[in-house]
Structures are given as C-alpha cells and as structure tokens.
Amino acid sequence: MPAPDEASPVLAEVLAIIQPLVTWLVRSGVGYAEFAAALKPVFLAQAEAELQRLDRKQTDSSLSLLSGLHRKDVRALREHAERITADNAAQGTRWGRPSAANQVMTRWLSLDWPETIPFNGPEPSFEALARRVSRDFHHRAVLDDLVRLGVVRHDQAGVTLLRDAFLPDPKLEEARQLFAGSAVDHLAAGVHNLSGPSGRRFLEQSVFADGLSEESVRTLNQLANSLWAEVLQRVVDAAVPLCEQDVATEVPQRFRLGLFSFAAPLDPALNEGGASDSEPPGAVKPGAAERSVKPNKDVSS
C-alpha cells in the first residue's frame, strides 16, 4: 500500500485524468452523489484483485484498509459479491467485444472486394461476408444494423460500403461503447506500465506540439488521419489471418491498437468546454478509429 506522500501526487494526476469524464457525467445528468455511490463496488473489486495478486487473505479489515471503504460498506457489498463479480466480468466482456456490425465492416475493409456487392449469394456477397465473421447472427439483421449506423447503403444495386462513414450518432449506445472501450484499454495500458509487474510493457506513447496556428493544427490533423488510415489497413491485414490461424487457441486474448488527436487553445480561458465545436478539415472522425476482427468460430450451418 503506497505511503501518503506517494499517494498524493497520484491522486492529483488521477483528478486531472478524470476531469473530462466528469464533464461527460455532468452533461449526461449524473451528479456527484450518484457517481460516488457507484464507485464503492469498483474500489472493493479492485482491492480484492490487489489482495489476490499479493496472495493475501481477504478480510473485511484488509479490504477496508486497502479500499478506504467503511467496514460496514465492505460487509454490505461482499454480501452481493457474486453479483458484483458477474457484473464486472460482463463489463470487461462488453468493452472488449466488438459488435457483429463492427466486425463485418472491418472484414470488408480487409478484403479486395468491390464497394458494392450483392446482398445474397456466393462470394463476394454480403451474406458470404457476414458468414465469414459469424453464423450466430442472420445476415439480414447485421445489414439492418449497418444501415441504421449509416455505414452501408442497401438498394437495388446491392449493398454499398460507405468508407470512412463509421460515425455513430453520439446519442447512440454504439458511440459511447466505442469511446469507453478505447479509453478503458488506453488507461489500462498506462496503469500497467506505471504500476504493474516488471516485464511486458504496452505501447503507450504520444507526441505533443504547441504554439501552433489553427492552420497548422489543420495540417497535422490531416496528417494524423492519413497515417491512421495506413495503420488501420496494415493491422487489419495482419490480424485477419492471425485470427483465423488462432481460432482454436485454448487461452484466447484480445488486442487493441488506437490513435487519437486533440487540439485546443493554450489559454484555458479560451478553451471553455474543451475542444472547439467546429471540426477542422481532416480531423479524425469519432468512431472511425475503432475497427475489430474476429474469426468465424461457429462452422455450423
């Protein structure tokens, strides 16, 4: 357990990290009391995980000391430990697993197929594409989801992929989950590198420049967009055959590579609410940075 003089700067850094999240909560109508109450089982679950990592006995006292929760809160929460554990596992799966629609679009981007393909029939067709990803969902349902998201168009000509259009409405659940999944893994990589066991380190780097004009920021945004498009294609091209090769692996793992850009005035007084509401040309579109691949594990008809 860190000493107070070690914990204090970490707390300051976490408060800096959480400020944009608090902005999101406030704009979404979630206040401090609701957030604080929701944090209790999170602190308890992480204290339990830490004691397990240290191979120490989990008692109400040890969990209270490590988490900072009152012992009565620890006891009350532990009475529902099974439900909390299940909820935590479900959350981890939720953020780590892409939707069927997301997988289908990614697989289409990785294939040398036309941008317009028939809905039914042998390859190349949307039916065949959906079956490459999973047989758990009917291809009509997947198509309806993609049309709803504005990723494809379906008409008499067939199904047309709208490249770079994976831009879910911010009010939709898909947009929130894309952001949450990316943010969770980004923070997990950094926390592991800072406080995890020695050995493997995750890629967690960024580049920063200041004193720039708006035109220069626009230029850098265009460069970032171009570089991401290249990285996206190369990683998808490499990941698809690896997913198919590892379809029977006994201990499956997941992998995420992301890239983000942000620009704002250096003077905080000119930066009320964060980045400018006007998106500079060439800016990376929200949601476009999330692509996923998954092997077809179900070979039944």
Is 295 within 8 Å of 112 (Cβ atoms)? no
Per-residue pLDDT of the chain (301 residues; tens, 9 = 90+): 555 455 578 888 899 899 999 988 888 888 898 999 889 988 998 899 889 888 898 888 899 898 889 988 888 888 776 555 545 444 444 555 666 777 787 788 777 788 899 988 888 889 888 888 777 778 888 888 888 777 788 998 889 887 655 555 555 666 777 788 888 889 989 988 988 877 889 999 999 999 999 999 999 999 998 898 888 888 888 888 898 889 888 898 889 998 888 998 887 776 654 444 444 433 334 333 344 444 433 322 2
The set of long-range contacts for 151-156, using a CB threshold of 8 Å and a minimum separation of 24, is 151/101, 151/105, 152/105, 154/119
Residue 116 has phi, psi (to 5 degrees) of -125, 125
Is 142 within 8 Å of 104 (Cβ atoms)? yes
Q: Enter the pTM of the model.
A: 0.66
Measured between alpha carbons, how far is 114 from 132 in angstroms, rounded to an integer? Answer: 16
Question: Angle, nearest 10°, between helix axes 81-96 and 71-78?
Answer: 80
DSSP string, 104-145: HHHHHHHS---SEE-SSSSSSSHHHHHHHH-SSS-HHHHHHH
Measured between alpha carbons, how far is 170 from 158 in angstroms, rounded to an integer? Answer: 28
Is 205 within 8 Å of 258 (Cβ atoms)? no
Residue range 221-268, pLDDT digits in tens: 999 988 988 888 888 888 888 988 898 888 988 899 988 889 988 877
* Helix/strand/coil percent split, the chain, to 5: 55, 5, 40
What is the pairing mode between strands 116-117 and 152-155? unpaired
SS3 of 35, please? helix
Tokens of 64: 């209270």
Measured between alpha carbons, how far is 167 from 152 in angstroms, rounded to an integer? Answer: 11
With CA atoms as reference, report the closest residue to 170 among 281, 14, 294, 27. Answer: 27
SS3 of 186, please? helix
With CA atoms as reference, report the closest residue to 121 among 151, 163, 161, 158. Answer: 158
